[in-house]
Amino acid sequence: MKSKSNDPTLKKRIFDIIQIGNKDDLPSRSFDYFIVSAIIINILIAFLDTFDELSTLYSLFGIIEAATIIIFIIEYLFRIWTSDCLYPDAGKGKAVVKFLFSFDGIVDLLTILPFFFLDGFIVFRMLRVVRIFRLFRVNAQYDSFNIITNVLYEKRNQIASSVFIIITLMLASSIGIYGAEHEAQPDVYKNAFSGIWWSVSALLTVGYGDIYPVTVAGKIMGILTAFLGVGVVAIPTGIISAGFVEQYSKKKNADVVFDDVKELGEILVTQKSGLADKTVSDVESDHDAKVYMIIRDELTVIASGDVVLREGDILVVRMNKLIKK
């Protein structure tokens, strides 16, 4: 039985168009650009609306904002209508509920609500910021943003470790500066939380200057904290930079096919390449190649014939026709 997502209906066509990141479909890409433009205009209006000097243009801003909100509402209704295409295995009712409570559905709804409640509770006025996150929704489907998210996900353990070190140093320095400065500045360093504000600005080398040590012990503590901050805060930066290099190397390898391999070469395993979920033996026989090594995450896997390849693996290969020479 053919799934609903493959039915050539008007609903399916609309779903394909409004689906973010369908780069092979010109109307879909055009719709993405249109929505991004509407989001940027909406955010810009919200920004300009805070300037008293532009009070004469407030009525125009209101009209433009209302137009963009209408666009968002129409898109939101279309996404509800086509939710069974997004979740083909669920019934119509369940598909709608799944979309409404999904991250995308909640962001879409919170984008619309502030327009109708701007004169109400302050929480609704603050929700205007949520509109910015719609840009992440669009960008997340494209290669540039995918690289960032992949780096953060793959390096999450290392980043978490470095953040833990930073938090530990922050707590230690806050307690230390409180002990050194409390008697000299009891109104400034009232408790350890006051020290946390100082330690954050010192560790991150921001130095706001609103709270600072005056005692010799406090100044020594400030010097040590600043030096530690320069080194420790650079750790996650180095981790993320290394991750970017790895991701760009993988992206470069993804464009390599077996026919391009001269002597030894690296090939990235993807679903698109048709190599994922195949065994080493299958790949060697299908492409008349020799797989010497598999690089999987940060491990090196021996290329035994029965090893199943995973998406993201990097194969070190050589063509047999070159070996025979």
Cα(257)–Cα(273) distance, integer angstroms? 8
Cβ burial, residue 3 (10 Å; 0-12/13-18/19+): exposed
- Domain count across the chain: 3
Q: How far is CA 47 from CA 40, 41, 65, 82, in A?
A: 10, 10, 11, 33
Does residue 296 lie within any of the structural domains?
yes
Q: Could you tell me if 73 and 14 lie in one domain?
A: yes
CATH code of the domain containing 211: 1.10.287.70
CATH for 86:
1.20.120
Does the residue 82 lie in any domain?
A: yes
Tell me the CB-side half-sphere exposure of residue 210, using CA atoms within 13 A: 9
Nearest Cα neighbor of 178 from 197, 155, 205 is: 197
Q: Tell me: do 162 and 120 sit in the same domain.
A: no
Q: How many residues does the chain have?
A: 325
Residue 291's SS3 state is strand
C-alpha 19/C-alpha 32 separation (Å) is 8
Same domain assignment for residues 131 and 212:
no
Tell me: do 18 and 112 sit in the same domain. yes
* Beta strand extents in the chain (DSSP E only): 264-268, 289-296, 299-302, 314-319
Domain containing 8 equals: 4-141
Give the integer Cα–Cα distance in Å for 235 and 233: 5
The string of pLDDT tens digits covering residues 109-126 is: 877 877 777 655 555 555
- Where does a domain end: 187, 206, 235? 235
Instruction: For residue 282, give the CATH number of its domain.
Output: 3.30.70.1450
Question: How high is the pLDDT of residue 33?
Answer: 82
Residues 161, 80, single domain; the answer is no
The torsion angles phi and psi of 211, rounded to 5 degrees, stand at -145, 125
> Does 259 lie in the same domain as 166?
no
In this structure, the answer to whether residues 100 and 163 fall within a common structural domain is: no
Among 112, 141, 170, the domain-final residue is 141
C-beta of residue 102 within 8 angstroms of C-beta of residue 92: no
Is residue 8 included in any domain, yes or no?
yes
Domain-located, residue 148 = no
CA terminus-to-terminus distance, the chain: 51
The reply to whether 19 falls in a domain is: yes
pLDDT for res 64: 92
The two three-digit tokens of residue 224, written as one number? 């040590």
pTM assigned to the model: 0.54
Residues of the chain with pLDDT under 50: 1-7, 322-325
The verdict on residue 294 lying in a domain is yes
Do 135 and 161 lie in a common domain? no
pLDDT at 60: 93
Structural domain ending residue among the three candidates 235, 268, 296: 235
Among 278, 284, 250, 262, residue whose Cα is nearest residue 292: 284
The CB density around residue 244, as the number of other CB atoms within 10 Å, is: 15
Asked if residues 251 and 143 have their Cβ atoms less than 8 Å apart, the reply is: yes
29 and 113, same domain (yes or no): yes
Name the nearest CA neighbour of 303 among 271, 272, 274, 266.
266
Q: What is the pLDDT of residue 234?
A: 81
8 and 137 part of one domain: yes
Residue 248 lies in a domain: no
Amino acid 125: pLDDT? 55
pLDDT 10s digits, 157-213: 888 888 888 888 888 888 888 888 888 988 888 888 888 888 888 887 777 777 888
What is the spatial order of strands in the sheet that 314-319 belongs to?
A: 264-268, 314-319, 289-296, 299-302
Q: How many CB atoms lie within 10 A of CB 114?
A: 20
Same domain, 17 and 137: yes
* 160 and 86 share one domain: no
192-229 exposure pattern, b = at least 16 Cβ within 10 A, e = fewer: bebbbebbbbbbeeeeeeebbbeeeebeebbeebbebb
Tell me the CA distances in angstroms from 228 to 169, 193, 205, 216, one per residue in order.
Answer: 8, 20, 10, 18
Q: Residue 245: inside a domain, yes or no? A: no
